């Protein structure tokens, strides 16, 4: 064979090998989806292929799902009206006023005013939390929130003969409390009860003996003001009650104490101030009140107490020891420039002549000053 024939045959062989390799490669690429050979075929062939056969660049992954029985267990059943009422009842808050709907729990609550004399609270009050805005939308009608303390219906008065039996048995604490309820609730009986009330009050709150409550035994290092604070009393009252000077108490000494605090109830129409201890009558005093309704009505707290006060008036300052000082011997501050104080020559007692303050005779205001402590409640009523 000539050299030219061998060269031509070799080229054909290499051409067939190359063409075969290209064909195999194209087939593999078409199977992998990298090359679409159908694009080279006539048009009808394109449309005959289904979407499932078409290659996808990024086929979506199949989402995992729970079996049907578990899906049913995960769903919440629809609630009927009875179910909704039961849930609202569970979310209600029980208070002295009854059940408050849960939707009103974020209402702004106001301080409640107590009608009548109540025991003083010597604990610090937390700052009032800001009100939270209610969500808009229709609401059920709710009872209005009152500023007055809800009170239960008063228990019936104990019969007077039963109270007399308590007196005879020496149970002055119980007898005085029940008789005081008659005094406060039965105007027609009031004056006839005074002798009995004052006799028991003298033994309970003025005399050093007898003891009606467990006495306090002075401990080493005790101070009278600290002992008084423990019992919510003033140190002045304990000093007078026990006939002892504050700096002369001694360890082991027994002091007469009562469970304070005292409070006061002022009736403007009767020009009367009554000192009470947990509702029990202690003593009453005649007072002068404001002209033309200037004395405010409501319940107040004793904010400060000042012996021998200095008067700061529109026409100048009058010293505490000046006989013309209109405040007398004591000043009991009720806030907003109102207070209980003494007088000059009993001026205005039993009358409506003051600028709003409560006037008392100087010996009387000195006693009330000793009874009331910082934080004691004073209620003023018509």
* Residues taking part in catalysis: 341, 357
Where b means 16+ CB within 10 Å and e means fewer, 162-194 reads ebeebbeeeebbebbbbbbbbbbeeeeebeebe
What's the rounded Cα separation, in Å, for the pair 380 and 357? 11
Shortest CA distance to 381 belongs to which of 268, 283, 304?
A: 268
* 166-171 contact pairs (CB < 8 A, 24+): 167/196, 167/200
To 5 degrees, how large is the angle CA 188–CA 189–CA 193? 150
User: Cα-flanking dihedrals φ and ψ of residue 24, to 5°?
Assistant: -60, -45
**Residue that the structure tokens 């989402």 belong to:** 63
Omega cis (within 30) before 261:
yes
What distance in Å separates the CA atoms of residue 285 and residue 180, rounded to the nearest whole number? 16
Q: Is 11 exposed, middle or buried (0-12, 13-18, 19+ CB in 10 A)?
A: exposed
Which residues is 276 bridged to in the sheet? 263, 281
């Amino acid at each position: 064979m000539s050299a030219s024939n061998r060269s031509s045959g070799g080229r054909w062989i290499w051409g067939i090998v190359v063409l075969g390799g290209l064909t195999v490669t194209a087939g593999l690429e078409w199977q992998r989806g990298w090359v679409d050979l159908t694009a080279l075929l006539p048009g009808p062939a394109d449309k005959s292929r289904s979407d499932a056969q078409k290659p996808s660049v990024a086929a979506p992954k199949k989402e995992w799902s729970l079996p049907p029985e578990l899906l049913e267990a995960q769903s919440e059943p629809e609630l009927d009206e009875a179910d909704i009422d039961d849930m609202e009842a569970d979310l209600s808050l029980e208070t002295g006023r009854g059940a408050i709907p849960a939707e009103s729990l974020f209402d702004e609550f106001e301080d409640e005013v107590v009608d009548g004399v109540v025991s003083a609270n010597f604990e610090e009050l937390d700052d009032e939390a800001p009100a939270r805005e209610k969500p808009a939308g229709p609401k059920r009608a709710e009872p209005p929130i009152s500023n007055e303390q809800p009170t239960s219906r008063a228990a019936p008065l104990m019969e007077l003969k039963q109270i007399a039996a308590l007196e005879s048995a020496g149970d002055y604490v119980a007898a005085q409390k029940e008789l005081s309820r008659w005094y406060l609730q039965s105007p027609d009986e009031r004056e006839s009860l005074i002798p009995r009330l004052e006799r028991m009050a003298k033994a309970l709150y003025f005399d050093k003996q007898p003891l009606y409550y467990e006495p306090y035994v002075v401990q080493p290092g005790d101070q009278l003001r600290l002992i008084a604070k423990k019992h919510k009393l003033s140190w002045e009252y304990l000093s007078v009650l026990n006939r002892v000077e504050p700096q002369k108490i001694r360890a082991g000494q027994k002091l007469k104490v009562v469970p304070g605090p005292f409070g006061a109830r002022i009736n403007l129409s009767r020009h009367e101030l009554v000192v009470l201890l947990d509702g029990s009558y202690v003593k009453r005093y005649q007072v002068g009140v404001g002209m033309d309704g200037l004395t405010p009505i409501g319940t107040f707290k004793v904010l400060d107490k000042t012996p021998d006060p200095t008067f700061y008036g529109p026409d100048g300052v009058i010293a505490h020891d000046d006989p013309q000082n209109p405040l007398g011997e004591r000043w009991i501050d009720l806030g907003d420039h109102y207070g209980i104080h003494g007088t000059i020559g009993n001026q205005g007692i039993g009358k409506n002549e003051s600028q709003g303050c409560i006037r008392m005779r100087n010996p009387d205001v000195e006693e009330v000053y000793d009874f009331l402590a910082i934080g004691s409640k004073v209620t003023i009523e018509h």
